[in-house]
Copies of this chain bind each other. A is one copy, B any other.
Amino acid sequence: MSKTNQGNFLEDFRLGQVIRHATPRTVTEGDVALYTALYGSRFAPQSSAKFASAIGLAEKGRAPIDDLLAFHIVFGKTVPDISLNAVANLGYAAGRFGVQVFPGDTLSAVSTVIGIKENSNRQTGVVYVRTTGLNQRGETVLDYIRWVMVRKRDPNAVLAETLVPDLPTAVAAGDLILPTELQLDRYDAVLAGSPYLWDDYSPGEKIDHVDGSTIEEAEHMMATRLWQNTARVHFNQFTEGKGRFGRRLIYGGHIISLARALSFNGLGNAFKLVAINGGRHANPTFAGDTIFAWSEVLQRIEIPGRDDVGALRLRLVATRDCPCGDFPLFAENGHDIDPAVVLDFDYTVLIPRRRG
Protein backbone atom coordinates (compact mmCIF):
# COMPACT_ATOMS: atom_id res chain seq x y z
CA MET A 1 0.00 0.00 0.00
CA SER A 2 1.16 3.48 -0.73
CA LYS A 3 2.68 5.34 2.19
CA THR A 4 1.73 8.73 0.75
CA ASN A 5 -1.24 10.62 2.10
CA GLN A 6 -4.27 10.23 -0.16
CA GLY A 7 -6.39 12.60 1.93
CA ASN A 8 -9.95 11.94 3.02
CA PHE A 9 -12.82 11.58 0.57
CA LEU A 10 -16.42 12.42 1.38
CA GLU A 11 -17.32 8.94 2.58
CA ASP A 12 -14.32 8.89 4.94
CA PHE A 13 -15.83 11.59 7.16
CA ARG A 14 -18.20 10.79 10.05
CA LEU A 15 -20.38 13.19 12.00
CA GLY A 16 -18.72 13.95 15.31
CA GLN A 17 -15.35 12.67 14.11
CA VAL A 18 -12.45 14.46 15.79
CA ILE A 19 -9.28 14.90 13.77
CA ARG A 20 -5.98 15.89 15.41
CA HIS A 21 -4.03 17.53 12.63
CA ALA A 22 -0.32 17.02 12.07
CA THR A 23 2.66 19.37 12.10
CA PRO A 24 2.61 21.54 15.20
CA ARG A 25 4.30 24.83 14.40
CA THR A 26 6.29 27.22 16.53
CA VAL A 27 5.66 30.76 15.33
CA THR A 28 8.71 33.03 15.20
CA GLU A 29 9.76 36.58 14.41
CA GLY A 30 10.84 35.15 11.08
CA ASP A 31 7.21 34.40 10.24
CA VAL A 32 6.26 37.91 11.27
CA ALA A 33 8.90 39.46 9.00
CA LEU A 34 7.76 37.32 6.09
CA TYR A 35 4.16 38.32 6.75
CA THR A 36 5.20 41.97 6.49
CA ALA A 37 7.25 41.32 3.34
CA LEU A 38 4.39 39.46 1.68
CA TYR A 39 1.53 41.81 2.56
CA GLY A 40 3.05 45.10 3.71
CA SER A 41 0.76 45.24 6.73
CA ARG A 42 1.02 48.42 8.79
CA PHE A 43 -1.33 48.03 11.77
CA ALA A 44 0.71 49.52 14.61
CA PRO A 45 0.31 47.00 17.47
CA GLN A 46 1.56 44.12 15.32
CA SER A 47 4.34 46.29 13.86
CA SER A 48 5.76 47.75 17.05
CA ALA A 49 6.39 46.03 20.38
CA LYS A 50 6.53 49.44 22.02
CA PHE A 51 3.14 50.44 20.62
CA ALA A 52 1.68 47.08 21.66
CA SER A 53 3.07 47.51 25.17
CA ALA A 54 1.49 50.93 25.51
CA ILE A 55 -1.99 49.46 24.99
CA GLY A 56 -1.57 46.23 26.94
CA LEU A 57 -1.17 43.91 23.96
CA ALA A 58 2.48 42.94 24.39
CA GLU A 59 3.79 39.92 26.25
CA LYS A 60 7.37 39.85 27.54
CA GLY A 61 7.96 43.00 25.53
CA ARG A 62 6.90 41.40 22.25
CA ALA A 63 4.18 42.40 19.83
CA PRO A 64 1.40 39.91 19.06
CA ILE A 65 1.45 38.40 15.60
CA ASP A 66 -1.12 39.39 13.00
CA ASP A 67 -4.40 37.55 13.61
CA LEU A 68 -4.51 36.36 10.00
CA LEU A 69 -1.02 34.89 10.31
CA ALA A 70 -2.39 32.71 13.11
CA PHE A 71 -5.42 31.91 10.97
CA HIS A 72 -3.31 30.79 8.00
CA ILE A 73 -1.11 28.54 10.11
CA VAL A 74 -4.09 26.87 11.78
CA PHE A 75 -5.89 26.55 8.44
CA GLY A 76 -2.79 25.07 6.81
CA LYS A 77 -2.68 22.21 9.32
CA THR A 78 -6.20 21.13 8.35
CA VAL A 79 -5.55 20.81 4.60
CA PRO A 80 -4.00 17.30 4.51
CA ASP A 81 -6.98 15.89 6.38
CA ILE A 82 -9.90 18.04 5.24
CA SER A 83 -9.31 19.51 1.83
CA LEU A 84 -6.68 17.53 -0.06
CA ASN A 85 -9.48 16.23 -2.28
CA ALA A 86 -11.51 19.42 -2.19
CA VAL A 87 -13.16 20.82 -5.29
CA ALA A 88 -13.83 24.16 -3.63
CA ASN A 89 -13.48 25.94 -0.30
CA LEU A 90 -17.09 27.12 0.10
CA GLY A 91 -17.25 29.31 3.14
CA TYR A 92 -16.38 30.34 6.68
CA ALA A 93 -18.59 31.07 9.68
CA ALA A 94 -18.51 31.52 13.43
CA GLY A 95 -14.80 32.38 13.54
CA ARG A 96 -13.57 33.78 16.79
CA PHE A 97 -10.08 34.82 17.86
CA GLY A 98 -9.14 33.81 21.41
CA VAL A 99 -5.88 34.38 23.26
CA GLN A 100 -3.30 36.30 21.31
CA VAL A 101 -0.37 34.57 19.65
CA PHE A 102 3.23 35.65 20.21
CA PRO A 103 6.51 34.56 18.65
CA GLY A 104 7.59 31.44 20.51
CA ASP A 105 4.08 30.00 20.77
CA THR A 106 3.51 26.58 19.24
CA LEU A 107 0.24 26.20 17.35
CA SER A 108 -1.64 23.00 16.63
CA ALA A 109 -5.12 22.30 15.30
CA VAL A 110 -8.01 19.94 15.93
CA SER A 111 -11.17 19.67 13.82
CA THR A 112 -14.58 18.15 14.47
CA VAL A 113 -16.88 17.13 11.63
CA ILE A 114 -20.17 18.94 12.28
CA GLY A 115 -21.97 18.39 8.99
CA ILE A 116 -21.94 16.27 5.89
CA LYS A 117 -24.16 16.11 2.83
CA GLU A 118 -23.86 14.44 -0.53
CA ASN A 119 -24.52 16.43 -3.69
CA SER A 120 -27.17 15.23 -6.08
CA ASN A 121 -24.54 14.25 -8.65
CA ARG A 122 -23.25 11.66 -6.14
CA GLN A 123 -19.71 12.53 -7.22
CA THR A 124 -19.12 15.12 -4.52
CA GLY A 125 -20.53 16.45 -1.29
CA VAL A 126 -20.01 19.05 1.37
CA VAL A 127 -18.21 18.58 4.69
CA TYR A 128 -18.55 21.09 7.54
CA VAL A 129 -15.83 21.19 10.17
CA ARG A 130 -15.23 23.25 13.27
CA THR A 131 -11.49 23.80 13.63
CA THR A 132 -9.82 24.93 16.84
CA GLY A 133 -6.29 26.33 16.88
CA LEU A 134 -4.49 25.82 20.16
CA ASN A 135 -1.28 27.13 21.67
CA GLN A 136 1.27 25.09 23.65
CA ARG A 137 -0.77 25.58 26.83
CA GLY A 138 -3.91 24.21 25.18
CA GLU A 139 -5.56 27.63 25.06
CA THR A 140 -7.76 28.40 22.07
CA VAL A 141 -6.23 31.02 19.80
CA LEU A 142 -8.89 30.71 17.12
CA ASP A 143 -11.87 28.62 16.22
CA TYR A 144 -13.99 28.71 13.11
CA ILE A 145 -16.27 26.67 10.92
CA ARG A 146 -15.54 26.08 7.27
CA TRP A 147 -17.24 23.98 4.68
CA VAL A 148 -15.67 22.41 1.67
CA MET A 149 -16.87 20.55 -1.39
CA VAL A 150 -15.04 17.22 -1.40
CA ARG A 151 -14.86 14.41 -3.96
CA LYS A 152 -16.17 10.95 -3.23
CA ARG A 153 -13.72 8.12 -3.73
CA ASP A 154 -16.54 5.84 -4.86
CA PRO A 155 -19.70 7.41 -6.35
CA ASN A 156 -21.67 4.41 -5.14
CA ALA A 157 -20.64 4.80 -1.53
CA VAL A 158 -23.60 5.61 0.73
CA LEU A 159 -23.23 8.13 3.55
CA ALA A 160 -24.26 6.88 6.99
CA GLU A 161 -25.70 10.24 8.02
CA THR A 162 -26.53 13.62 6.57
CA LEU A 163 -26.59 16.84 8.49
CA VAL A 164 -26.39 20.46 7.44
CA PRO A 165 -25.57 22.48 10.53
CA ASP A 166 -27.23 25.75 11.40
CA LEU A 167 -24.67 28.49 10.98
CA PRO A 168 -24.89 31.88 12.65
CA THR A 169 -24.76 34.88 10.32
CA ALA A 170 -22.38 36.64 12.68
CA VAL A 171 -20.56 36.19 15.95
CA ALA A 172 -22.65 37.89 18.65
CA ALA A 173 -21.19 40.99 20.29
CA GLY A 174 -21.27 39.29 23.68
CA ASP A 175 -19.15 36.42 22.34
CA LEU A 176 -16.24 38.56 21.18
CA ILE A 177 -13.06 37.93 23.14
CA LEU A 178 -10.95 40.94 24.08
CA PRO A 179 -7.31 40.63 25.08
CA THR A 180 -7.38 40.69 28.86
CA GLU A 181 -4.90 43.56 29.34
CA LEU A 182 -6.17 45.76 26.51
CA GLN A 183 -6.27 49.41 27.61
CA LEU A 184 -6.44 52.19 25.03
CA ASP A 185 -5.74 55.25 27.22
CA ARG A 186 -2.33 55.60 25.63
CA TYR A 187 -3.36 54.77 22.06
CA ASP A 188 -1.50 57.18 19.76
CA ALA A 189 -3.49 57.67 16.54
CA VAL A 190 -0.75 59.75 14.91
CA LEU A 191 1.71 56.89 15.29
CA ALA A 192 -0.99 54.48 14.17
CA GLY A 193 -1.40 56.47 10.98
CA SER A 194 -5.08 57.43 10.90
CA PRO A 195 -7.26 60.01 12.69
CA TYR A 196 -10.49 58.00 12.33
CA LEU A 197 -11.86 56.18 15.36
CA TRP A 198 -14.92 54.02 16.06
CA ASP A 199 -17.13 57.08 16.38
CA ASP A 200 -16.24 58.23 12.87
CA TYR A 201 -17.58 55.19 11.06
CA SER A 202 -21.26 54.73 10.23
CA PRO A 203 -23.18 51.64 9.19
CA GLY A 204 -23.57 51.65 5.42
CA GLU A 205 -20.42 53.70 4.87
CA LYS A 206 -18.23 52.41 2.06
CA ILE A 207 -14.49 52.97 1.74
CA ASP A 208 -12.45 52.48 -1.40
CA HIS A 209 -8.97 51.42 -0.28
CA VAL A 210 -7.53 52.86 -3.49
CA ASP A 211 -4.24 50.97 -3.72
CA GLY A 212 -3.63 47.79 -5.72
CA SER A 213 -1.20 44.95 -5.24
CA THR A 214 -0.09 42.60 -8.02
CA ILE A 215 0.43 38.93 -7.13
CA GLU A 216 3.60 37.08 -8.11
CA GLU A 217 3.99 33.28 -8.25
CA ALA A 218 6.97 33.36 -5.90
CA GLU A 219 5.05 35.37 -3.32
CA HIS A 220 1.90 33.29 -3.07
CA MET A 221 3.87 30.06 -3.05
CA MET A 222 6.23 31.29 -0.33
CA ALA A 223 3.23 32.40 1.73
CA THR A 224 1.35 29.16 1.27
CA ARG A 225 4.40 27.05 2.08
CA LEU A 226 5.06 29.18 5.15
CA TRP A 227 1.67 28.04 6.46
CA GLN A 228 2.65 24.46 5.50
CA ASN A 229 -0.52 24.35 3.43
CA THR A 230 -0.12 21.39 1.09
CA ALA A 231 -3.01 21.91 -1.34
CA ARG A 232 -1.46 20.80 -4.61
CA VAL A 233 -3.10 23.31 -6.93
CA HIS A 234 -0.90 26.13 -5.62
CA PHE A 235 2.56 24.74 -6.37
CA ASN A 236 2.65 22.52 -9.42
CA GLN A 237 2.61 24.25 -12.80
CA PHE A 238 3.37 21.02 -14.66
CA THR A 239 0.07 19.48 -13.55
CA GLU A 240 -2.03 22.65 -13.26
CA GLY A 241 -0.86 23.71 -16.71
CA LYS A 242 -2.83 20.77 -18.07
CA GLY A 243 -5.84 21.52 -15.84
CA ARG A 244 -8.97 23.60 -15.94
CA PHE A 245 -7.31 26.99 -15.57
CA GLY A 246 -3.93 26.18 -17.07
CA ARG A 247 -2.30 27.86 -14.11
CA ARG A 248 -1.54 27.56 -10.44
CA LEU A 249 -4.42 28.73 -8.24
CA ILE A 250 -3.76 31.20 -5.44
CA TYR A 251 -4.60 30.13 -1.87
CA GLY A 252 -7.72 32.09 -0.92
CA GLY A 253 -6.20 33.19 2.38
CA HIS A 254 -3.50 35.03 0.45
CA ILE A 255 -6.23 37.30 -0.92
CA ILE A 256 -7.71 37.85 2.54
CA SER A 257 -4.34 39.04 3.82
CA LEU A 258 -3.67 41.23 0.77
CA ALA A 259 -7.09 42.84 1.08
CA ARG A 260 -6.75 43.34 4.83
CA ALA A 261 -3.36 45.03 4.31
CA LEU A 262 -4.85 47.27 1.59
CA SER A 263 -7.67 48.17 3.99
CA PHE A 264 -5.20 49.93 6.27
CA ASN A 265 -5.71 52.88 3.96
CA GLY A 266 -9.04 53.98 5.42
CA LEU A 267 -9.17 51.67 8.43
CA GLY A 268 -5.76 52.28 9.99
CA ASN A 269 -7.00 52.04 13.57
CA ALA A 270 -8.92 48.79 13.09
CA PHE A 271 -6.04 47.10 14.84
CA LYS A 272 -7.25 43.64 15.72
CA LEU A 273 -9.56 40.99 14.30
CA VAL A 274 -11.93 39.43 16.80
CA ALA A 275 -14.35 37.54 14.55
CA ILE A 276 -14.74 36.04 11.10
CA ASN A 277 -18.49 36.10 10.60
CA GLY A 278 -18.46 34.69 7.13
CA GLY A 279 -16.67 34.74 3.85
CA ARG A 280 -16.36 33.19 0.49
CA HIS A 281 -13.82 33.14 -2.30
CA ALA A 282 -16.08 34.27 -5.11
CA ASN A 283 -13.63 33.67 -7.96
CA PRO A 284 -10.18 32.16 -8.36
CA THR A 285 -7.08 34.34 -8.62
CA PHE A 286 -3.81 33.85 -10.44
CA ALA A 287 -0.33 35.33 -10.54
CA GLY A 288 -0.38 38.61 -12.42
CA ASP A 289 -3.74 39.67 -11.01
CA THR A 290 -3.76 43.03 -9.28
CA ILE A 291 -5.88 42.93 -6.13
CA PHE A 292 -7.95 45.96 -5.12
CA ALA A 293 -10.31 46.19 -2.14
CA TRP A 294 -13.14 48.14 -0.60
CA SER A 295 -14.98 47.91 2.72
CA GLU A 296 -18.50 48.51 3.95
CA VAL A 297 -19.25 49.19 7.59
CA LEU A 298 -22.00 46.69 8.43
CA GLN A 299 -22.42 47.44 12.09
CA ARG A 300 -20.95 49.54 14.88
CA ILE A 301 -20.80 47.43 18.00
CA GLU A 302 -20.43 48.64 21.58
CA ILE A 303 -18.33 46.45 23.84
CA PRO A 304 -20.11 46.07 27.19
CA GLY A 305 -18.28 47.92 29.95
CA ARG A 306 -15.78 49.60 27.63
CA ASP A 307 -15.66 53.22 26.61
CA ASP A 308 -12.13 53.03 25.20
CA VAL A 309 -12.73 50.47 22.50
CA GLY A 310 -15.54 49.43 20.20
CA ALA A 311 -15.97 46.98 17.38
CA LEU A 312 -16.86 47.34 13.72
CA ARG A 313 -18.39 44.59 11.68
CA LEU A 314 -17.02 45.04 8.18
CA ARG A 315 -17.58 43.61 4.75
CA LEU A 316 -14.25 43.42 2.92
CA VAL A 317 -14.55 42.93 -0.83
CA ALA A 318 -11.52 42.23 -3.01
CA THR A 319 -11.42 42.37 -6.79
CA ARG A 320 -8.94 41.46 -9.46
CA ASP A 321 -7.83 44.00 -12.07
CA CYS A 322 -10.74 46.24 -11.06
CA PRO A 323 -10.31 49.47 -9.06
CA CYS A 324 -13.01 49.80 -6.43
CA GLY A 325 -14.14 53.41 -6.74
CA ASP A 326 -17.69 52.28 -7.48
CA PHE A 327 -17.68 49.43 -4.94
CA PRO A 328 -18.22 46.44 -7.26
CA LEU A 329 -20.07 43.51 -5.77
CA PHE A 330 -22.96 42.27 -7.86
CA ALA A 331 -23.10 41.68 -11.59
CA GLU A 332 -25.47 43.65 -13.82
CA ASN A 333 -28.31 41.23 -13.19
CA GLY A 334 -28.19 42.38 -9.57
CA HIS A 335 -27.98 38.86 -8.29
CA ASP A 336 -24.83 37.07 -9.39
CA ILE A 337 -21.52 38.19 -8.01
CA ASP A 338 -19.50 40.56 -10.22
CA PRO A 339 -16.96 38.44 -12.11
CA ALA A 340 -14.19 40.83 -10.96
CA VAL A 341 -14.95 40.14 -7.29
CA VAL A 342 -12.72 37.46 -5.76
CA LEU A 343 -13.47 37.77 -2.06
CA ASP A 344 -16.50 38.71 0.02
CA PHE A 345 -15.39 38.59 3.64
CA ASP A 346 -17.39 39.51 6.76
CA TYR A 347 -15.32 40.12 9.88
CA THR A 348 -15.24 42.12 13.09
CA VAL A 349 -12.40 44.32 14.30
CA LEU A 350 -11.55 46.28 17.42
CA ILE A 351 -10.98 50.02 17.05
CA PRO A 352 -10.43 52.78 19.64
CA ARG A 353 -13.31 55.04 20.67
CA ARG A 354 -13.12 58.79 21.01
CA ARG A 355 -13.54 59.92 24.59
CA GLY A 356 -13.92 62.92 26.86
Contact = CB atoms under 8 A, between A and B. Distances in A.
Identify which of A192, A214, A323 gathers the most chain B CB atoms within 10 Å of its CB: A214
A16 B221 CA distance: 45
A8 interface: no
A218 interface: yes
A200 interface: yes
A199 interface: no
A235 B211 contact: yes
B212 A238 contact: yes
Interface string A27-54: 0111111101111101010011111000
Contacts of A22: 42, 44, 190-194, 268
A252 interface: no
B23 A47 contact: yes
Nearest to A33: B30
A193 B249 CA distance: 25
Interface stretch (A149-157, A223-231, A302-310): A223-231
Contacts of A63: 26
A196 interface: yes
B235 A213 contact: yes
A124 interface: no
Given A22-B42, A22-B44, A207-B3, A33 B36 contact: no
Contacts of A119: none
A281 interface: no
Contacts of A283: none
